[in-house]
Amino acid sequence: METRTEDADELQPDENAPARAVLDRTRQVWGRAAQAVSVLVDGEEHVPADGGVIVAFNHVAPLDRLRFTLAGRRVRFLTSSPVDAVRRVWGRSEARTDDAEAALIRRAAELLARGEMVGIFLEGRRSPDGRLYRGQPLLARIVAETGAPVLPVASVDEGGVLGRTVGPRLAVGPAVDLGRFLPADDEFARQCITDAVTSALLELSGQVYMDVDSSQRRAQLGEQRRSSREAVRAQVRARKAEELARTQQRIADRQAETAELARIQAQAALAAHEHARRAAEADAVQRRVRATRLPADGSQGHRGPKDPLLHDQL
């Protein structure tokens, strides 16, 4: 089995030239990458040699859209426009409008009438966690419109990585028996078609089934991731706030220590000044005492006071 990318004429015309240029560039890059990936196929004998066939895929890998040919027959995937193709390649497509879906049904009918193999991802958007999600109604509406057979193809053992030579394995099953549901003129019959194809894909892929839309599950997981990121951010903010509080407390403690040291130094300076003052006063007192004991001419005088009577007798 060879790997190919879609041709530009497989998409409906669109006036958005920039989007088409991006899509062409994406095909070139991923087309070269797809050549390095070997896709193993089991059950190619179930692929009809000719005639229009709807190929229903599960959607578990981002490269599904760009790599499939089966038994030498090209699989043309339905895409509303180059803008939608680019969004779907990167897993960011939005919900289709009724007009867009009607255009896809007309496009599928044209391709099937020409004997082409039309590829449809039953789940719509890629599975966010590898499980098989509720099938979308587009496939059943195309079957109701065209009566074309549906060939289930499941991507299993997904391990293909760009640059490796061993990639995923495709399991092709026999065409799903939908005759008992045709003509599918009511919603119940179309839901039975979707359920029958889902059961065939489950049997081929061995996936776990989730009865919700993949877009809803993706939104739930996105919300959980956002909540987890917000919780982590809150924890980081709390840790930063605690660290800031500790830093501010350390600064306040250091400022208090500095103020206490300044107070002690001021008290020491005041005590030193007081000591110096008292020492100066003591020295002044001693000088006055010495000055009163010595005569003016500097000789040794009588230590006691002179007796005037004794002085007169002499």
Judged on CB neighbours under 10 Å (0-12, 13-18, 19+), 192 is middle
Contact status, residue 54 vs residue 112, Cβ threshold 8 Å: yes
Peptide linkage before 149 cis (omega within 30 of 0) = no
> Tokens in use for 130?
């590898």
Residue 260 confidence (pLDDT) = 94
Residues 6+ apart with CB under 8 A from 44: 1, 70, 71, 172
- Residue by residue, pLDDT tens for the chain (314 residues) are 444 444 434 444 445 666 666 666 666 655 555 544 556 788 889 999 889 999 999 888 655 555 567 778 888 887 655 445 445 544 444 445 667 888 889 999 999 999 999 999 898 888 888 889 999 899 999 999 999 999 999 987 554 444 344 456 788 999 998 888 888 788 899 999 999 999 999 999 889 998 888 878 878 888 888 888 889 999 999 999 999 999 999 999 999 999 999 999 999 999 999 999 999 999 888 888 888 876 655 555 555 555 555 445 44
Q: Cα–Cα distance between 8 and 23 in angstroms, integer?
A: 9
Q: Cα–Cα distance between 79 and 124 in angstroms, integer?
A: 11
Q: Cα–Cα distance between 9 and 16 in angstroms, integer?
A: 15
Residue 310 confidence (pLDDT) = 44
Q: Cα–Cα distance between 144 and 220 in angstroms, integer?
A: 32
Identify the CA nearest to 89 among candidates 81, 101, 97, 98.
81
What phi, psi does 207 have (nearest 5°)?
-75, 165
Q: Cα–Cα distance between 140 and 65 in angstroms, integer?
A: 20
What phi, psi does 77 have (nearest 5°)?
-85, 140
> Tokens in use for 268?
């020491």
In Å, what is the CA distance from 150 to each residue of 56, 155, 224, 273? 7, 16, 36, 107
Residue 180 confidence (pLDDT) = 87
Identify the CA nearest to 69 among candidates 105, 90, 50, 44.
44
